[in-house]
Copies of this chain bind each other. A is one copy, B any other.
């Protein structure tokens, strides 16, 4: 048996490396590396032997070594906005992503950014430093500079939310158009005709979807849309409540409200109760929600669930598929509102 490359005896108690396996099998380091990669120029018997030893001693490739040599980081970067945080969306999302990544070699790095204006910074950081193999972003805009940048650099990513740039990129989105449309249907079914929508901030893509669904519902089901754009879903609960109170005491008071988020609905409930109205009697409220608190504390609110954890899983699967070269157009999925009971 000829001595391989592994000339020095590996330290006994250290973490095993390719060198350790090379020493134990009497093979060269290169051979071991290629055997573990199932390369075609290694005999089946050798591969088997190497795999056996590797498993026995619990070999795990050194991430820094791989990363330095190949540039592959085995990292997915989740770029979060603090606004999402406040809406409580990120938590189940992180779980969903982790559920998928746990079955792979990927680690999840979470990078939040402060204001909407800085959304591009963390993306640039990843691109410039090669900090990750793929990126997950959310709160997409119709013309999203982050998407433009990553497309241009051909960098794998997936968005939570769609864009309108005529570019095919991976996304997962909730069908907010359907949600708003069904919400109007439910309100009209309850006899409501003068409706308002507590909507997303206008620069986000899903504003357009939700708005479109709302207006289509208004037309199809024969109701009236009243204006309510002093506040949006990004406003604080206090601001939403105040704006809603003003609305409810004015001449254009609605008898039905659609809320684009559960926390928005909380503020609306406070406002309409303060105005002396009773939910389900004088007025109805349909809300999207991802946690399940409204259902428990105000079952009179009609809710439709958005499964954020599922979204996390879909997003993770999509980035990974993209990294592995699957065409973007095949990585676009929608999920639909889940009616409660």
Contact = CB atoms under 8 A, between A and B. Distances in A.
B98 A94 contact: no
A232 to B, nearest CB: 18
Interface string A201-238: 00000000000000000000000000000000000010
Contacts of A110: 94, 98, 108-110
A88 B291 contact: yes
Interface in A82-97: 82, 85, 88, 90-92, 94-95
Interface stretch (A126-134, A155-163, A319-327): A126-134
Interface string A286-311: 00000111001110000000000000
Contacts of A263: 293
Interface stretch (A63-71, A166-174, A186-194): A63-71
Nearest to A107: B109
A297 B266 contact: yes
Contacts of A5: none
Size category of the binding interface on chain A: 35 or more
A294 B270 CA distance: 11
Interface in A18-67: 58, 60, 62-65, 67
Given A112-B95, A291-B88, A129 B60 contact: yes
A111 interface: yes
Contact of A266 (B62, B85, B88, B296): B296
Contacts of A270: 296-297
A15 interface: yes
Given A95-B82, A107-B109, A68 B60 contact: no
Given A98-B110, A107-B131, 9 more contacts: A58-B128, A60-B128, A60-B129, A85-B91, A85-B92, A88-B91, A263-B293, A266-B297, A270-B297
